[in-house]
A and B are shown apart, each in its own frame.
Chain A
Amino acid sequence: EPEVTQTPSHQVTQMGQEVILRCVPISNHLYFYWYRQILGQKVEFLVSFYNNEISEKSEIFDDQFSVERPDGSNFTLKIRSTKLEDSAMYFCASSEYRGDQGYTFGSGTRLTVV
């Protein structure tokens, strides 16, 4: 079964540092998403991406966040200057159609900001 792959599985970074979280969506999927989950809380939408541009973003996705699809396979989330409150599990997801079809989550990157 096709999978969404995320690397690294765990990232520890110092406050103020930049981090890049990487995702390889399923190859025939066209829609890409980032979600985050603070420990013990619900999954929250960050951003959706289609046709090489952001299609929607949440209030959480402020200027310190950016996404990019630098080549035909990777989809990255960059956090420019990390804060303690950015510590969370970040999930990438992809879907072949708009979000109501075959929405597949990656295994997540646990980001710890110290």
Chain B
Amino acid sequence: GENVEQHPSTLSVQEGDSAVIKCTYSDSASNYFPWYKQELGKRPQLIIDIRSNVGEKKDQRIAVTLNKTAKHFSLHITETQPEDSAVYFCAASGWDGNKLVFGAGTILRVKS
């Protein structure tokens, strides 16, 4: 089955700097890759997603890139702010879209 690896496990950046979180997946049939932000004790919230027919997608300060050949995708956050501090999860979903397989998460700390 699908396996998603996520790195780094923790990431500390200065306010205003960029943050990059990387994920790799194992199943070449996966075609949907969402990113979720989770604040302490709260639900995961979708922040951006990308489908396999697109290489890059951007939404204001957040962007996601996908390399299907290498089976990895990345989250890029520019001009980080303290409120970006949270746990970020990547996930992958296969051709049938029946479930999401999550990465282990990245704790992002933005220092002001």
Find chain B residues with CB under 8 A from A80 CB: none
Q: Is the CB of B93 within 8 A of A100?
A: yes
Q: Is B73 an interface residue (CB 8 A)?
A: no
Q: Is the CB of A91 within 8 A of B105?
A: no
Nearest A residue to B6 by beta-carbon distance?
Answer: A42
CA distance A51 to B31 in the complex (A): 24
Q: Is the CB of B96 within 8 A of A98?
A: yes
Question: How big is the B interface, by class?
Answer: 20 to 34
Q: How many A-B residue pairs have CB under 8 A?
A: 55
CA distance A11 to B49 in the complex (A): 32
Nearest A residue to B101 by beta-carbon distance?
Answer: A45
Interface residues of A (CB under 8 A from B): 33, 35, 41-45, 48, 55-56, 58, 91, 97-101, 103-108
Interface residues of B (CB under 8 A from A): 31-32, 34, 36, 42-46, 49, 51, 89, 91, 93, 96-105
25 contacts between A and B (CB under 8 A): A35-B100, A42-B89, A42-B102, A42-B104, A43-B91, A44-B102, A45-B99, A45-B101, A48-B98, A55-B98, A58-B99, A91-B44, A97-B97, A98-B96, A99-B32, A99-B93, A99-B98, A100-B51, A103-B34, A103-B46, A103-B100, A104-B46, A105-B43, A106-B43, A107-B43
